[in-house]
Structure 1
């Protein structure tokens, strides 16, 4: 009963947190995507239409976040039953990685549609979806799946163990369990660190998703894409959009993980009939 309640609460809390973050911070995500585009910031739209693609993000954020957190909590709980605290960072890495692989089954199609709308490949999210399916088939919606996973797993390896560690450290120093807003601050710090380190992988993912179908980059090789970016734009190109990415994920981490913890606290205090 408790497991069913925890699973349901993780679904609801994760969905609520994901929707709030994606909607509030969408303009920053748009600017980051345009900075990383092969066509450059100005040709991709500049500061115009910064809410282009919001519909796809809003539609996909709740189920994506819900799937991630429900998977993360289930795996974390299962491993923690061993009571080996020394393995906690490894447990968090495994749980977050499996959660990301699962969530990306929903996230990647949303990202493809969203980013093509953000960079003016299509006028609306629906048109981007329709054009992608018409020209590339259903699998076109999963272009960049491997590169997305290759970005998300290293990101999760860094962010979630740090988040859990910062929470434990804060609680230990204060002598009391941390609150939801304190958890959010821990999430902001962990997310900002992970975002900065993994920016080159994010740039490669964006290039692969936005590349012309006939191009070699569209085939999805991360190493090839990173090499091409390095040759064309140097180290600076590999870290294109790093400032908005770090800002976006830091603020997003504070909201996302703070709201997630707050909603879980509220739901756990309720009496449910299961």
Structure 2
């Protein structure tokens, strides 16, 4: 019973740590994501600086944070799901015969499944973030908030609209998850941080 409580606390701690890290990184990287999105849809931007200046001149400094709510709705659950699934799969791998701790292949597998699971769960918010960050200010089909975009896309395009781009996203995050957690475990063992 005590061991089960420790495992649950351990999983909870990973989820909280991953979620908090996502809040911090989302706060810092949302403006660069906004600039990138605008440059991808607007061919008239010659460089990042000009894109940023135009975004600020049209909507003020806070317009750099357009879609921040959607970024949080995507990144926080993504980190929580990714770390939770990874830790759970690692526990399953450790319980297999002849497995004290997962080998490199098992780590890659667990990381890939964790990354793709997180990508599947959060794809609707990735779609919403992209729509919010690429819309033209003052346009007729303006999205006003994350919830408004969720409802509007869901009503007009259905579930398929909320999952646009799912396949490449699964491929990206399966690869990213595998490499992320393999590197994570490698450096953890290199610096002797195993409990």
Answer yes or no: same fold by TM over 0.5: yes
Give TM-score, length-normalised by structure 2: 0.82
Shift of 1:264: 4.1
Question: Do the aligned partners of 2:127 and 2:162 also contact (CA within 8 Å) in 1?
Answer: yes
Would the alpha carbon gap of residues 263 and 180 (structure 1) be closer, same or farther in structure 2, given more than 3 Å must change? farther
Contact 1:207 1:217 in 2 (8 A): no
Structure 2 CA distance for aligned equivalents of residues 180 and 138 of structure 1: 45
Select 1:100's aligned residue among 22, 31, 40.
22
Return closer, same or farther for 1:256/1:131 CA change in 2, 3 Å cut-off: farther
- Name the CA shift for 1:250/1:201 in 2 (closer, same or farther; >3 Å): same
User: Does 2:24 align with 1:117?
Assistant: no
Match of 1:190 among 108, 111, 114: 114
In 1, distance between residues paired with 2:34 and 2:104? 32
Query: Structure 1 residue 95: deviation in Å?
Result: 1.5
Matching residue within 80, 87, 104 for 1:157: 80
In the TM superposition, 1:2-17 aligns within 5 A as none
Counterpart Cα distance in 2 of 1:217 and 1:260 = 41
Sort the Cα spacing of 1:165 and 1:218 in 2 relative to 1 into closer, same or farther, 3 A.
Answer: same
1:209 and 2:125 are equivalent in the alignment: no
Which runs of 5 or more residues in structure 1 are unaligned? 1-82, 270-274
CA distance in structure 2 between the aligned counterparts of 1:198 and 1:254, rounded to whole angstroms: 18
**CA separation of 1:180/1:112 partners in 2, compared to 1, >3 Å: closer, same or farther?**
farther
The corresponding residue for 1:62 is: none
Give TM-score scaled by structure 1 length: 0.60
**Distance of 1:235 and 1:142 partners within structure 2:** 26
**Equivalent pairs, count:** 185
Residue 198 of structure 1 aligns to a residue in which SS? helix
2:57 match: secondary structure: helix
Measured at CA, do residues 126 and 178 of structure 1 come closer, stay the same or move farther in structure 2, by a change above 3 Å?
Answer: farther
Q: Matches of 1:262 and 1:134 in 2, distance apart?
A: 46
